[in-house]
Structures are given as C-alpha cells and as structure tokens.
C-alpha cells in the first residue's frame, strides 16, 4: 500500500515490453560470450535484437487506450504507448539499416545491441514515469548507455574523446537536474506528479525563490539531454566521434525522450507554475533555433552539420512547450514523428554512403546522383523535408506546429522560426549541390546498396512522402496521446 493506504497495482504484465527488451539484451550478450562454441553466424545478434524489438512492439499494441499505472511509478496510457512504439520503431530501423556498418566499424557488437535495447527501455520509462525519481533513473539508464556506445567506434580516436566529453558534461547536467528536482521536492513535499501539481496549485508564495531556482536547474538539465543552447556544447563532438548509427540514435531517440519528459513535466506537475518557467523555455528556444542554424552554415562534415541541424530542430520543438496546451502538445508529437522519419532517412543514406566510400565530408558526396541516383534521391527528400519543403513530412508537421504556436499567442516566436527554417534550406542545399551539380571524384562507377540498405532507405523515403501528403493516422495517434497526457 502507499502512504495514503491505497492499494498499489503490481501488474508486471504492464511492463512486458521493457522486460522483453532487457531480457533480449542480456541474451545477446550471453550468447556472444559463447559465439565460437555455438557457431553463431554474424547475423544472429542483429536478428535476435530485431526479434526482441518486434515482440516488444507487438506487446505495446495491447495497451492502446489503457489508463492505469504500475505502483504509482509508471503510467500506462496512450502517451506511453505512442512513445513505446516510436522508440521501438527507431531502434528497429537503425539495426536494419546499419547492421553492416556495425559489423565493420563498431567494436563489441553484442554490447552495442544490448545497450541499444536497454537505452530504448530507459527512453520509454522517461515518457511513462509519474514520479520524479523514476524519471531520473530512466534518464540515467538512457544516458549511461549512450556514454558507452558513443565510444565503440573501431580504430577511431575521435570516439573515445567524444565519449569522454559526453560523460563529463553529462555528469554535470545530471547533478544539475537532480539538484533541481530536490528543490522541487522541497517545495511540493512529494515526488509524485499529481501531488506536485496539487501543491503548486495551492500556492507557493513562501517558497517562490527555491521553486524558481529549481525550475532553472531542471530546464538546464533537460536542456542538456535535448542539446538545447546553451547546453549543447557536447553534441557536435559526440555526433562526429560516435559511430554513425549511434549518431542517428542520438539525434532521434535521445531528442524525443527529452521532449517526452518535457511534456510529462511541463504539461503535468509543473503546469501550475507556468508563469515562472514559460519565459525560460522561450529564451532557450530562440537561442537554440538561432545558434543551431547559423553555426550549421559553417560545417564541412556531414555529421557535424546534422548535429547542428538537430539542435535547430530542438528549438522548433521547444516552442510547443512555451505555449503548452492540448493543441500544441499534439502538434509537437506529430512533428516529432515526422522529424524522426525524416532524420532517420538522411542518416540511413549517410550510413549506406559511408559503407561504400568511408567518407563523411560534405564534398565527398559530389556526383552521388550519378553513382547512386536512388541514394541521392533519399538524401534530397530527407534534407528538403528537414527544411520544411512542401509535399514532404517536414512541411506538414512543421506547419501544424507553427500554427499551434501562433494560436498560443507567440507569433513573434514563429517569425524567428520561419527565418531560421529559411537559413536551414541554404546549408541543406549545399549537400544537394554536391550530389547533383558536380562530377564524382575518383572512380565514377555506379554502385548498389545492400538489400537491407534498400529496405531501410526505401521505407523511410515512402514514409517521408506519405506523411507529407496524408498524415491523418499519425495525427490521430498524437491527438489520442495528448488527451491522455492532459487527463
């Protein structure tokens, strides 16, 4: 029972998707220890990881339209289910589209797949938590997994350096966040979301300063996890030094998990204190949009360019937190889904290109339209979608997001976002220019992708186009998730 005498719900079947992910991770590491004795093929480990993700995704579907919790620590509702499916699908795409890269360029493959699954479980619990300590522990599961897999690039000194910077700054950010949560606990007298909301709604005039300081630290700690300015310093180096699949994962799941936690906290327990934190998020959003897009103009490495691009995208997402409501939260979930599809399409194309050329500078993409027209098409569609060009996912989802912010009374914020979107088109076009306007260097012979490469990039290309024309299913799912969030 809890402190109020209410019976706690210990239905462990509520946690089955994450249990499957954890068991699969342990099984992968255990089997790898006896790979020689068991005569395991090189596709066994990624195949097992894919199987675990598919089973977890199928189990997640059984909890659609549920509204319950596990021991008042984990909430199982449509918001949780939305992010369960989103994070599982992201990990699935990364493994299918990059297992060849992982085989060649990533050290300790079993540990990579195991940590990928565990970090996915951590990301899910960030979205599902209904207690501050549960959310913090979930965030640390995700963070520690990322610290490790960033360092797993084989024969690349940048990887170890990137991991060191990441873990040092991540430790500072975690301490900042934990201290902020302790101040919030001191003000509210509870770590449970409903009790915090009730305490803040009752008035906090006597503890206004501790609350304000706690909010500043919370915004800073979460801002680091989302790579928001000025907490973004680790991101470009971590993106450049990490193996490409890890870079893709950082730009997708890590960002989405941070935004899920932003939504859970600022649409729930912290909503009564909106006047204290709204201006903070607005300032961070503007700084993130402006710096992310302007610095991206100077990049010559495709991973660093996509790092600053993702920083700019976080600025757009934070606008929905500033104007938090059912409408803006639903628009944010829709945009997040479109962003993940688009961003993964670009990264899967970059991974396929690296598998063939071992190059990652933007100038090395010259003539790709001649040597692999399909891959050039995927890259172009993905980059144009990130810029918000019509008939692609990025345009529709960004339009709805911007409209929700205008409806929330922050037209000036959208004007800045529109200018920065125009700036982003310039540096995306630099990549497209290399692919279509220049002759290929070196051997200009045509080359083909692997079957799994075609599968991953093809599915993501189709999804990018379809979501730009018909996003109703995703919008419906986002709307149902948001209703659960505000209920």
Nearest alpha-carbon partner for 214 in 262, 258, 177? 177
Task: Please calculate the CA angle 461-149-174 and round it to the nearest 5 degrees.
Answer: 105
CA distance 131 to 114: 26
Q: Using the 8-state DSSP alphabet, how is residue 153 labeled?
A: B
Q: Using the 8-state DSSP alphabet, how is residue 325 labeled?
A: S
278-317 b/e with 16+ CB inside 10 Å = b? bebbbebbbbbbbbbbebbeebeebbbbbbbbbbbbbbbb
pLDDT of residue 36: 75
Among all chains, which residue has been given the structure tokens 């959310």?
Answer: 135
| Dihedral of the alpha carbons of 196, 199, 200, 204, in degrees to the nearest 10 | -130
pLDDT of residue 35: 78
> What are the pLDDT digits (tens) for 206-219?
778 899 999 999 99
> What are the pLDDT digits (tens) for 361-382?
899 999 899 999 999 999 999 9
CA distance 397 to 405: 13
pLDDT of residue 419: 94
pLDDT of residue 106: 86
pLDDT of residue 6: 63
pTM for the full predicted model: 0.94
In angstroms, how far is the first alpha carbon of the chain from the final one? Answer: 24
Among all chains, which residue has been given the structure tokens 């975690």?
Answer: 174
**In a 10 Å sphere around its CB, with 0-12 CB exposed, 13-18 middle and 19+ buried, how is residue 482 labelled?**
buried
pLDDT less than 70: residues of the chain? 1-6, 443
| Dihedral of the alpha carbons of 152, 154, 156, 161, in degrees to the nearest 10 | 20
């Amino acid at each position: 029972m809890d402190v109020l005498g209410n019976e706690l719900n210990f239905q462990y079947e509520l946690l089955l998707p994450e249990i499957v992910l954890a068991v699969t991770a342990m099984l992968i590491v255990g089997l790898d220890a006896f790979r020689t004795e068991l005569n395991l093929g090189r596709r066994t480990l990624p195949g097992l990881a894919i199987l675990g993700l598919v089973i977890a995704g199928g189990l997640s579907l059984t909890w659609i339209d549920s509204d319950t919790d596990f021991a008042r620590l984990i909430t199982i509702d449509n918001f949780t289910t939305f992010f369960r499916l989103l994070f599982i699908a992201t990990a699935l795409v990364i493994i299918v589209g990059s297992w060849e890269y992982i085989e060649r360029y990533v050290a300790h493959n079993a540990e990579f797949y195991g940590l990928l699954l565990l970090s996915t479980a951590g990301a899910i619990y960030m979205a599902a938590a209904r207690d501050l300590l549960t959310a913090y522990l979930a965030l640390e599961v995700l963070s520690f997994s990322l610290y490790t897999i960033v360092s797993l690039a084989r024969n690349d000194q940048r990887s170890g350096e990137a991991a060191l910077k990441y873990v040092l700054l991540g430790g500072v950010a975690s301490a900042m966040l934990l201290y902020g949560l302790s101040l919030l606990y001191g003000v509210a007298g509870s770590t449970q979301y409903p009790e915090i909301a009730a305490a803040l709604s009752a008035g906090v005039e006597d503890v206004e300063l501790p609350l304000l300081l706690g909010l500043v630290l919370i915004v800073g700690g979460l801002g680091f996890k989302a790579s928001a300015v000025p907490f973004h310093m680790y991101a470009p180096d971590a993106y450049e030094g990490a193996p490409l699949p890890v870079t893709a994962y950082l730009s997708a799941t890590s960002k989405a998990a941070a935004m899920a936690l932003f939504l859970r906290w600022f649409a729930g327990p912290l909503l009564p204190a909106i006047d204290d934190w709204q201006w903070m998020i607005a300032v961070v959003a503007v700084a993130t949009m402006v710096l992310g897009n302007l610095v991206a103009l100077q990049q010559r490495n495709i991973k660093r360019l996509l790092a600053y691009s993702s920083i700019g995208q976080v600025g757009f997402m934070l606008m929905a937190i500033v104007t938090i409501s059912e409408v803006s939260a639903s628009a944010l979930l829709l945009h997040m889904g479109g962003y993940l599809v688009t961003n993964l399409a670009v990264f899967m194309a970059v991974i396929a290109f690296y598998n063939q050329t071992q190059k990652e500078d933007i100038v090395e993409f010259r003539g790709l339209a001649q040597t692999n027209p399909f891959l050039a098409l995927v890259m172009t569609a993905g980059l144009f979608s990130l810029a918000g060009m019509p008939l692609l996912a990025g345009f529709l989802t960004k339009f709805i997001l911007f409209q929700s912010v205008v409806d929330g009374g922050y037209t000036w914020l959208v004007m800045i976002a529109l200018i920065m979107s125009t700036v982003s088109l310039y540096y995306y076009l630099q990549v497209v220019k290399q692919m279509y306007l220049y002759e290929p260097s070196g051997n200009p012979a045509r080359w083909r992708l692997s079957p799994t490469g075609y599968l991953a990039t093809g599915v993501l290309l189709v999804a990018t186009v379809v979501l730009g024309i018909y996003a109703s299913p995703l919008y419906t799912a986002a709307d149902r998730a948001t209703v659960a969030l505000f209920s």
